[in-house]
């Protein structure tokens, strides 16, 4: 035990700090109750960039104790993944045992199952996230030991503020040996009624297929919009058998939740329900692995988003390029350092071979990638992997699509706002993608990400802690056309090893406003990312952020108070402005800060635009000089 404590000493948090954050465990701070005890929300200064964390306090009356507590500490500190809840620390002092987690502000998945406003595509993405987290625990590659969760259920899938799913509650988990075809553990049966594998209950033998069964129950809960246990006049009954029978009888319409049913793509439904049913096979040998479940859910999501076109294009690309080095569409391993076997003459002549050798090599045309069908009509792509639709699928995984700016071109279609040449696709782990990004020095490159509808918000990659952005709609009116906004991202490496980044989301010059809809022009830039190394050796980043907002396309029919309301809804979700709104209370029309940066104490401070040093060098996204980036000179820094 002494050795164990030494290993996790860096995670220990003082009880006084936790009492201060929770007002001495005030019931008003309770945000949930589980099998471990009450969960409190509070703010604590130990963790950079986290305004709220969750404190799970052990209550021995709930039946769990020291073994589950230390199991949770060990599991979540040794096994880290974007779709596993992050353990930030623990407290073992004065008889108290408390676990400190990242705060999942949208609660547990079970709370949203019956919501009529919870869209099917969001349900699909959450299922896919959870499947990836569980697949990571079951991973049989390398020397990593397998982890069998033993208590997979919808209430143990937590949702963060961006609706990313996090598998939680590892206190009942069991560890099995790696590199074995089957992992069998004889153990006392534990879990939750309705979700427990019948074979596990009958034989007391736990396998990874036991988790697969439980996950299949969750998938049917998502499909039916209800929990697997029904309480009717005090009588509890399990619905799983009925769900399986309805699937066999091809009567899914009898059980599908009516509200999302209207928006489900038929092929997506077929794939989703099929894999859910396979997970519930009585025979463990007939159940799929979690990696297969992940693949099927990715395909179901593709059909829901693109009607399956992305899936078909990616298969064509794999078949055409299966003998070339690069990233296969379903691969999780990086091959960015390998050379393309059949490189073209253009590849050999390129001054940056490290980029042209990524993926399948550059196509021989220039595209305006802000357009849905960006390939010129007179030319056909030789690399389907560079298509926008393919990238929409890749974006849900780890990867980037790289474009190089061409300053001198003989012929450029009028529809092009920039001359950009695709030079590579990388699909790999977060760390490997990070290494590729870090290799881009001396010139300007651009890569795109697919949009979700809505306001521009910040998202931090859990492995590299690089800040990404996505668009998520949560303000009125409730629709923005994808073509209304185009997204660019520029990087430049400095002599001191830091990186300047310019993010820009702007209207496309050939896209007219959609009648009756509000459109916002959002520009942000000035990220300064300096890679750091933490105690565990993972790269981290120090970020400075410059944000500007220019309102364009706003109809004169909207009254000023309504315009201001919409602007505030946008601003509250824009990265870098939360600290400012915390000071203003959000109740007034604030002046937009020019800079939000971090001082030595890691507390955010503001530099007003009126105090900006005029000698400061700004960034120009349209400049031909790599060292002279600028933001537009015509800006409104206050909302009147």
Q: Is residue 98 part of a domain?
A: yes
Burial class of residue 259 in the structure, from the number of CB atoms within 10 Å of its CB (0-12 exposed, 13-18 middle, 19+ buried): middle
Cis peptide, bond prior to residue 477, ω within 30 of zero: yes
Do 424 and 355 sit in the same domain of this protein? yes
Do 333 and 378 lie in one domain? The reply is: yes
- What does each C-alpha distance from 310 to 181, 297, 365 come to in angstroms? 33, 14, 21
* C-alpha closest to that of 421 among 465, 369, 495, 458: 369
Q: Are residues 568 and 483 in the same domain?
A: yes
The answer as to whether 126 is a domain residue is: yes
Assess whether 268 and 374 both reside in one domain. no
- What is the maximal distance between C-alpha atoms in the chain? 77
How far, in Å, CA of 286 to CA of 407, rounded? Answer: 57
Which amino acids are annotated as binding site for ATP, given as ranges?
A: 56
pLDDT of residue 226: 92
Residue 273 DSSP SS3: helix
pLDDT at 410: 39
Three-class SS of residue 19?
A: helix
Can you tell me the distance from the alpha carbon of 559 to that of 309, in angstroms, rounded to the nearest whole number? Answer: 43
Residue 573 inside a domain? The answer is yes
Q: Do 80 and 116 fall into the same domain?
A: no
- SS3 call for 560: helix
In a domain, 639, yes or no: no
Query: Are residues 11 and 115 located together in one domain of the fold?
Result: no
DSSP state of 587: S
Of the candidates 92, 129, 139, 151, the residue annotated as catalytic is 151
pLDDT at 297: 95
**Token pair recorded at residue 281:** 């096979």
| pLDDT for 132 | 93
Vertex 83 angle, CA 59 and 68, to 5°: 25
Is position 28 within any domain? yes
Binding residues: 56
Q: Strand locations in 494-618, DSSP E?
A: 499-506, 521-533, 539-542, 546-550, 595-598, 604-607
CB 596 within 8 A of CB 548: no
Task: Return the half-sphere exposure (C-beta side, CA atoms, 13 A cut-off) of residue 395.
Answer: 21
What is the rounded distance in angstroms from the CA atom of residue 50 to the CA atom of residue 177?
A: 35
8 Å CB contact between 208 and 136 = no
Catalytic site includes residue 347: no
Give me the pLDDT at residue 65, please.
64
Quickly list H helices, 399-461: 430-438
Alpha-carbon distance of 87 to 78, in angstroms, equals: 10
Report residue 123 as tokens.
């349900």
Tell me the residue length of the chain.
640
**Token code pair at residue 222:** 């998502």
pLDDT for position 8? 73
- The answer to whether residue 627 is domain-embedded is no
Among 42, 75, 102, identify where a domain stops: 102
Exposure of 505 in the CB half-sphere (CA atoms within 13 A) = 25
Domain of residue 90, residue span: 2-102
Q: Do both 389 and 352 map to the same domain?
A: yes
Domains in the chain, number = 3
Given phi > 0 = left and psi -120 to 50 = alpha, else beta, which region is 602? left
pLDDT < 50 stretches in the chain: 142-143, 177-189, 311-401, 403-422, 429-431, 433-434, 437-438, 440-494, 497-534, 537-557, 567-568, 570-640
Considering the domain architecture, whether residues 238 and 174 belong to the same structural domain is answered as yes
Tell me if 620 is assigned to some domain: no
Are residue 183 and residue 125 in the same domain, yes or no? yes
Q: What letter does residue 615 receive in the DSSP assignment?
A: T
Query: Alpha-carbon distance 429 to 411, whole Å?
Result: 37
Contact assessment for residue 453 and residue 471, using Cβ atoms and an 8 Å cutoff = yes
For residues 419 and 539, state if they share a domain: yes
Chain centre distance of CA 621 = 27
User: Do 302 and 332 sit in the same domain of this protein?
Assistant: no
- N- to C-terminal Cα separation, the chain: 62
Give the pLDDT confidence score for residue 386 in this predicted structure.
Answer: 36
The residue from 274, 306, 338 where one domain ends is: 306
CA separation for the pair 417, 368 (Å, rounded): 7
Angle at 267 between CA 264 and CA 268, to 5 degrees: 50
Note the pLDDT tens digit of each residue in 351-367. Answer: 222 222 222 222 233 23
Residue 220's pLDDT is: 96
Residue 311 lies in a domain: no
CATH code where residue 97 lies: 3.30.200.20
In the numeric block, the tokens 């490496």 are attached to 493
CATH number of residue 151's parent domain: 1.10.510.10
Rounded CA-CA distance 76/73 in Å is 6
Left (φ > 0), alpha (ψ -120 to 50) or beta: where does 222 sit? Answer: alpha
301 and 359: one domain?
no
CA dist 152 to 212, 340, 570, 579, Å?
A: 9, 42, 36, 36
What gap in Å lies between CA 109 and CA 392, rounded to an integer?
Answer: 25
Give just the sign of the alpha carbon dihedral 440, 446, 451, 456.
positive
SS3 letters for 319-372?
A: HHCCCCCCCCCCCCCCCCCCCCCCCCHHHHHCCCHHHHCCCCCCCCCCECCCCC
Q: At 33, which helix (H) or strand (E)?
A: strand 30-33
User: Which pair of tokens denotes residue 243?
Assistant: 């769900």
Question: Using one digit for the tens of pLDDT, what is the confidence trace for 45-56?
Answer: 766 555 688 898
**Final residue of a domain: which of 75, 102, 129?**
102
């Amino acid at each position: 035990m002494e050795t164990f404590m030494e290993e996790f000493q860096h995670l220990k948090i003082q009880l006084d700090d936790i009492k201060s954050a929770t007002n001495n465990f005030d019931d008003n701070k309770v945000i949930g109750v589980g099998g471990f005890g009450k969960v409190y929300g509070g703010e604590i200064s130990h963790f950079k960039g986290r305004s709220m964390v969750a404190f799970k306090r052990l209550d021995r009356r709930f039946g769990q104790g020291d073994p589950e507590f230390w199991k949770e500490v060990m599991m979540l500190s040794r096994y880290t993944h974007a779709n596993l809840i992050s353990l930030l620390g623990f407290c073992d002092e004065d008889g108290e045992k408390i676990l400190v987690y990242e705060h999942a502000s949208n609660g547990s998945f079970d709370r949203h199952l019956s919501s009529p406003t919870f869209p099917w595509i969001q349900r699909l993405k959450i299922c896919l996230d959870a499947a990836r987290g569980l697949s990571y625990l079951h991973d049989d590659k390398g020397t990593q030991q397998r982890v069998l969760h033993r208590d997979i259920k919808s209430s143990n899938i937590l949702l963060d503020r961006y609706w990313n799913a996090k598998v939680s509650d590892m206190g009942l988990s069991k560890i099995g040996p790696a590199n074995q075809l089957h992992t069998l553990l004889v153990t006392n049966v534990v879990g939750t009624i309705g979700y427990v594998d019948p074979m596990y209950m009958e034989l007391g033998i736990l396998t990874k297929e036991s988790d697969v069964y439980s996950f299949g129950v969750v998938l049917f809960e998502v499909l039916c919009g209800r929990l697997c246990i029904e309480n009717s006049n005090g009588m509890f009954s399990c619905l799983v058998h009925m769900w399986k029978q309805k699937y066999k009888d091809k009567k899914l319409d009898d059980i599908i939740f009516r509200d999302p049913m209207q928006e489900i793509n038929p092929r997506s439904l077929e794939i989703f329900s099929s894999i859910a049913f396979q997970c519930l096979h009585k025979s463990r040998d007939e159940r799929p692995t979690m990696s297969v479940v992940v693949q099927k859910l990715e395909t179901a999501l593709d059909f829901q988003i693109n009607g399956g076109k992305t899936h078909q294009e990616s298969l064509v690309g794999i078949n055409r390029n299966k003998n070339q080095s690069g990233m296969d569409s379903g691969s999780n391993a990086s091959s960015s350092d390998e050379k393309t076997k059949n490189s073209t003459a253009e590849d050999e002549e390129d001054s940056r071979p490290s980029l042209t050798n990524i993926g399948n090599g550059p196509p021989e045309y220039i595209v305006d990638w802000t357009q849905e069908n960006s390939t010129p009509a007179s030319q056909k792509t030789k690399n389907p992997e560079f298509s926008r639709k393919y990238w929409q699928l890749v974006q849900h995984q780890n990867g980037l699509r790289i474009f190089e700016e061409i300053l001198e071109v003989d012929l450029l279609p009028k529809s092009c706002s920039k001359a950009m040449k695709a030079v590579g696709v990388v699909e790999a782990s977060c760390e490997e993608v990070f290494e590729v990004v870090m290799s881009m020095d001396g010139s300007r490159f651009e890569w795109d990400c697919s949009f979700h509808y809505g306001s521009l918000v910040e998202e931090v990659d859990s492995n590299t802690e690089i800040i990404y952005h996505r668009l998520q709609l949560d303000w009125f009116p409730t629709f923005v056309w994808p073509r209304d906004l185009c997204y660019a991202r520029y990087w430049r490496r400095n002599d001191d090893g830091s990186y300047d980044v310019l993010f820009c989301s702007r209207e496309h010059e050939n896209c007219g406003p959609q009648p009756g809809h509000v459109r916002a022009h959002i520009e942000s830039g000035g990220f300064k990312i300096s890679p750091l190394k933490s105690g565990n050796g993972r790269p981290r980043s120090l970020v400075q952020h410059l944000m500007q907002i220019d309102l364009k396309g706003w109809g004169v029919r909207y009254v000023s108070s309504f315009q201001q309301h919409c602007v505030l809804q946008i601003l509250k979700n824009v990265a870098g402005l939360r600290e400012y709104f915390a000071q203003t209370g959000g109740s007034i029309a604030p002046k937009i800060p020019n800079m939000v940066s971090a001082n030595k104490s890691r507390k955010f401070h503001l530099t007003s635009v009126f105090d900006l040093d005029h000698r400061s060098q700004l960034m120009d996204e349209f400049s031909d000089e790599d060292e002279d980036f600028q933001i537009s000179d015509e800006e409104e820094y206050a909302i009147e």
